[in-house]
Amino acid sequence: MLKALLALPESTSFDTNLGSDSLDDHAPINGLAEWSLRSLGDYQAELAKRSPIKQEKDAAIWLADHLGMDAAELEDAHTHAEAVIRAGTSGFIHQTHRVTRLG
């Protein structure tokens, strides 16, 4: 369970280096050893926080794929899932409106 939790993203950023070396005392718990000392309630709260982030990133990757981009391009651009979804849905709405007018 803990390994699956730690595999979930902590943010919607596609920047793989984001937050990897924080020295802050209030930094999120990252390691398996640290999480093994936490309560079930802490695990459930973190899972509830990270699951929607994963879904949002998966949706952004799916949308980017349909727009001809791949995940590596998203990481190179250091973008966020929200930006990809906004741009993608905006483009989709524009294309749908154009096709409707032409049809």
Domain total for the chain?
A: 1
State the Cα–Cα distance between residues 16 and 85, nearest whole angstrom. 19
Q: What integer pLDDT is reported at residue 74 of this predicted model?
A: 86
- Mean pLDDT for the stretch of residues 13-34: 64
State the Cα–Cα distance between residues 89 and 71, nearest whole angstrom. 17
- Mean pLDDT for the stretch of residues 22-43: 76
Does 81 fall in a domain?
yes
Residue 17, token pair as written in the block: 């280096």
Does 95 fall in a domain?
yes
Does 68 fall in a domain?
yes
Measured over the CA atoms of residue 95, residue 96, residue 100 and residue 103, the dihedral's sign is positive
Query: Whole-prediction pTM value?
Result: 0.70
- Mean pLDDT for the stretch of residues 58-87: 87
State the Cα–Cα distance between residues 72 and 28, nearest whole angstrom. 26
- Mean pLDDT for the stretch of residues 85-91: 80
Q: Which domain holds residue 100?
A: 54-103
- Per the CB < 8 A criterion, the answer to whether 70 and 83 are in contact is no
What integer best gives the mean pLDDT of the chain?
A: 80
